[in-house]
Amino acid sequence: MQNGLAMQCQSGAGGLPGGGWSSYAARMRALRFEKTGSMNELKLAEIARPACGAGEVLVQVKAAAINPSDIKNVLGKMHETTTPRTPGRDFAGVVVEGPAEMIGASVFGTGGNLGFVRDGSHAEFVAVPAAVAVAMPKGVSFESVAVLGLPFMTAYSALVSAAGLQAGETVLITGTTGAVGSAAVSIAVSVGARVLGTMRSAAKIPAKETMPVASWISLESDDLPVKVRELTGGRGADVVFDVIGGAMFEKCLASLAYRGRQVAIASGPERRVSFDLIDFYHNESRLLGVDSVKLSFEETGAILRKLSAGLDNGTYPFPPNEAILRIPLEQAVQAYRDLSDGKIRQKVVLTP
């Protein structure tokens, strides 16, 4: 049966292992938008179940996170997107078609053009290159692992691939308690770096045991560059990972040590920023941009495999259950609306 599945995968036919070819239909439910620009364009529809081609797997989606970029996708803010399209970048599920050795495997993944040029994971099934379907860590739920792909891949790309963060260096991370920020904290600590975190106010700073942040900075009461230099003996941060952008950009740049590296992944409300160019080149600062959409499936899969050992051994903690809001696919459109309107603070995971 497994060899049959692998052969059928190439021709776009197939069925669930052990259940025969009639055990599930050739159609599925999926979120869909025919054009971008408004949440009114997003619908729950019945469409053809995707067929996987050579080197691909078909995954029965068990959980799929909704990321901020998914919201922007529907609103027309992701220039790569072609329509009609099913959104969704992160997924966790079970391989039901593909290479024989992968049938029945529990996998997770993210990245590439998934959800933008290729139909995404906010559906009952998703077809992806086998390279991006990474074996799930043992003993965790589909919902828990579904929220990790994009945040960890983005943080790793920024801190390790782009900035080259090293043991003994100090990194300032803005948006520290968010999905990408908290992933960045775990990755930074794992390479032996010292982490400085930021919060809007001192009252909201997490308890010390919840995150391995060496020092917290209150953006409400502290001058960011002054506080960073105070905490680093006047030197500044070797690396700044700015996940906010906008008004934070210049403050972060002023927090850099000599020849420090700043990585930007977001623009905030303002696309344009300004800074003192003379200070910038006298400090020999480095400014780096990272766009996770530009990473190929092969690159994304390689990053997630590097991180998988840390997920297995607990180096990278999973979010607590209360931080995840599980939403059935039938309620996904409303979940998109609520996230877009800022009504939900938890990480939303769709469960088809």
User: Tokens in use for 150?
Assistant: 């994009």
Residue/partner pairs of 21-29 with CB below 8 Å, 24 or more apart: 25/49, 28/123, 28/124, 28/125, 29/123, 29/124, 29/329, 29/352
pLDDT of residue 2: 36
4 pLDDT band, cuts 50/70/90, is very low
Beta bridge partners of 351: 328
pLDDT of residue 24: 52
User: What number of other Cβ atoms are within 10 A of residue 278's Cβ?
Assistant: 8
Q: Which residue has the higher pLDDT, 64 or 1?
A: 64
pLDDT of residue 198: 96
pLDDT of residue 318: 87
Considering the chain, what percentage of its residues have pLDDT values greater than 90? 80
Closest CA to 58 of 85, 95, 91: 95
pLDDT of residue 173: 98
3-state DSSP of 138-207: CCCCHHHHHCCHHHHHHHHHHHHHHCCCCCCCEEEECCCCCHHHHHHHHHHHHCCCEEEEEECCHHHCCC
Q: Is the pLDDT of residue 221 over 60?
A: yes
Q: Which residue has the higher pLDDT, 321 or 120?
A: 120
pLDDT of residue 25: 63
User: Tokens in use for 21?
Assistant: 């070819």
Residue position matching structure tokens 């040029």: 117
User: Per residue in 42-53, pLDDT tens?
Assistant: 999 999 999 988
Strand ranges in the chain using DSSP code E only, listed in sequence order: 27-33, 42-48, 56-65, 91-97, 106-109, 125-129, 134-135, 170-173, 194-199, 215-218, 237-242, 256-264, 286-289, 324-328, 347-351
User: Per residue in 147-174, pLDDT tens?
Assistant: 999 999 999 999 999 999 999 999 999 9
Q: Compute the half-sphere exposure of residue 69: CA atoms within 13 Å on the CB side of its CA.
A: 25
Q: Which residue has the higher pLDDT, 119 or 1?
A: 119
3-state DSSP of 42-65: EEEEEEECCCCCCCEEEEEEEEEE
What is the C-alpha to C-alpha distance for residues 288 and 256, in angstroms, rounded to an integer?
Answer: 13
- Average pLDDT value over all residues in the chain: 91
pTM for this model (two decimals)? 0.89
User: Per residue in 40-90, pLDDT tens?
Assistant: 999 999 999 999 889 999 999 999 999 999 999 999 999 999 999 999 999
Using the CB atoms, write b or e for 210-221: b if 16+ within 10 Å: ebebeebbbbee
Average pLDDT over residues 251-260: 98
Measure CA of the first residue to CA of the last residue in the chain; give whole Å: 26
Q: Is the pLDDT of residue 209 over 90?
A: no
